[in-house]
Structure 1
């Protein structure tokens, strides 16, 4: 792999060596052997690594995507995020905001981008194709195809989605690819929603179970509303408490009274447990 940056090359090399050492430990533990070249405490305690699969790196994949957008474009913001190992491409800031919103939905099993690709007949009788921006599969098996556009194009997009549904949400008369379609605009993926979703997704990765349980015991003893900042006061680790608050918001155990951006002055109340 060719690295133009010396630091990036060094970091990549160190990461690769760490992964190879971990795999060697795991294999040695399974075979009852000490890996060659391993010294120190790591070589003396191979039994700590019981399963080599936990050290195996699985690169993100494009999922069901039917196309890969260009990484650069002069007029739009391009990039991607990763949800459960699937790359979710976005071609605008609006699509990024909607992507983050979808990732915080409950009972979601899979999310794919640039899928499905369907055909429909327009008002002039011509056969057209359309690729949806996102495709959501819920735990109950329901499939939702989502188109993302600015609200000023709402009328024409709803007309197109109606034609797609009339054709069976399929490609050239094939099998049905989704159960329903939906249009999402900047009213769904707004700046406040993007901030809240970013905090929720970060808390999923960084929350401390001990801090979450400690906060859960606190809110069980409270009645009525309580400010976000009040939950942060008097704790030993503010960062861990903040992540715990956002995690309970994610779980629905804390509910915001407003619909806008959640900050330290937001009133929260107990939700469903």
Structure 2
């Protein structure tokens, strides 16, 4: 996927990206693009850009959080002194705000590259310079922090939730009261009997806490599903 914008917000035009840093020029390693996002803390949908496949995966994982209120890609830079006394600036990849009010600055890097360039040391210096006005904490997310299946599941949830069928979801809420768990996603979807909405509705319910599965593995019809909030 290169330099694409995916609009899932219907007829309402999205607001532009808030990124404060110019998107890097395309290279053979980049996978730039953007998606249209509607968060519950936003009055309008907005375009959110990513600059790599890893950033894209992390973005979908963040959007799948039930407590996400705000997300800002490439927020204003932080000025800091590195461990050799040189003045530098750093742009975080994402700045998020959670329903608790906590704000977290997120750096995204491949694990091998972060280790090779001493990025963890830089983050320690950045943490020392970061004020509470910007964020309460910072987190480094690498490709070792999640599985590809976990990111793909989150991407599918984002896709499915754009066309959520409320009637099917209400029926599922009733159906689970009369079923024995654990069962399979396919069996539950068949029992729901909502046509092509059945699998999508069960999938959405997994991310919204009605059901739970092992999200680190691909979610398909054979996946074991349990009743209750995901832990």
With normalisation by structure 2, the TM-score equals 0.84
Structure 1 residues 257 and 122: CA distance shift in structure 2, 3 A: closer
Task: Summarize deviations over 1:163-201 as a string: whole Å, max 9, x none.
Answer: 11111x15xxxx731111000111235320122112211
Gaps of 5+ in 1: 1-54
RMSD: 2.2
Q: Which residue of 2 aligns with 1:210?
A: 167
Residue of 140, 150, 155 corresponding to 2:110: 150
CA distance in 1, matches of 2:189, 2:73: 37
- Answer yes or no: is 1:114 the counterpart of 2:74: yes
Residue of 30, 35, 47 corresponding to 1:87: 47
From the two aligned structures, give the one with the greater helix fraction. Answer: 1
Structure 1 residues 188 and 242: CA distance shift in structure 2, 3 A: same
Structure 1 residues 228 and 197: CA distance shift in structure 2, 3 A: same
Structure 1 residues 77 and 225: CA distance shift in structure 2, 3 A: same
Paired positions, count: 213
Query: Whose RCO is larger (CA < 8 A, sep 6+)?
Result: 2
**4+ long deviations beyond 6 Å:** none
Contact 1:257 1:269 in 2 (8 A): no
Structure 1 residues 66 and 257: CA distance shift in structure 2, 3 A: closer
Gaps of 5+ in 2: 1-9, 39-44
Greater Rg over alpha carbons, structure: 1
Structure 1 residues 123 and 70: CA distance shift in structure 2, 3 A: closer
CA distance in 2, matches of 1:217, 1:134: 38
Query: In structure 2, the residue corresponding to 1:123 is in which secondary structure?
Result: coil
CA distance in 2, matches of 1:243, 1:74: 34
Contact 2:95 2:104 in 1 (8 A): yes
